[in-house]
């Protein structure tokens, strides 16, 4: 199975890289971009075939390593 994980900064956590991207877009003439939040995308190939077990295992991975829950949120898609 594949797990697709998005890790993003929590609301309220300043994202200086997002701000720099926003300024660069504006400098390129892309107006109307009101906010940019950047994050990480992680893809895992799993040997597990049971979606429920895969979801639980990836949740555990996100909590223990793939995200820092002090500053980040994560979302998981399993297929």
Partner 1 sequence: MTPMKTAVVVFPASNCDRDMITALEKITGQKPHIIWHQDDDIPDVDMIALPGGFSFGDYLRCGAMAARSPVVRKVIEHADRGGHVIGVCNGFQVLTETGLLPGALMRNESLKFVCRDVHLKVENNDTPFTNAYEQGEVITIPVAHHDGNYFADPDTLTELEDEGRVVFRYVDKRGQAGANPNGSRNNIAGIINRRKNILGMMPHPERLIEDAQGGTDGLGFFKSMINALN
Binding mask 12-31 toward partner 1 (x if CB under 8 A, else -) reads -xx-xx--x-----------
The single residue among 24, 68, 75, 77 that binds partner 1, judged by CB under 8 A, is 68
Q: Which is nearer to partner 1, 38 or 55 (CB)?
A: 38
Stretch of 10-18, 26-34, 47-55 lying at the interface with partner 1 (CB under 8 A): 10-18
* DSSP notation for 23-67: HHHHHTT-TT------EEEEEEE-S---HHHHHHHHHHHIIIII-
Distances, alpha carbon 41 to alpha carbons 10, 38, 66, in Å: 15, 10, 10
- List residues binding partner 1 (CB under 8 A): 13-14, 16-17, 20, 64-66, 68, 70-71
């Amino acid at each position: 199975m594949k797990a697709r994980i998005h890790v993003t900064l929590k609301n309220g956590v300043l994202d200086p890289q997002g701000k720099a991207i926003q300024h660069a877009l504006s400098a390129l003439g892309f107006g109307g971009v009101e906010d940019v939040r950047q994050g990480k995308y992680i893809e895992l190939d799993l040997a597990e075939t049971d979606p429920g077990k895969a979801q639980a295992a990836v949740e555990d991975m996100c909590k223990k390593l793939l995200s820092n829950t002090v500053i980040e949120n994560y979302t998981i898609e399993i297929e």
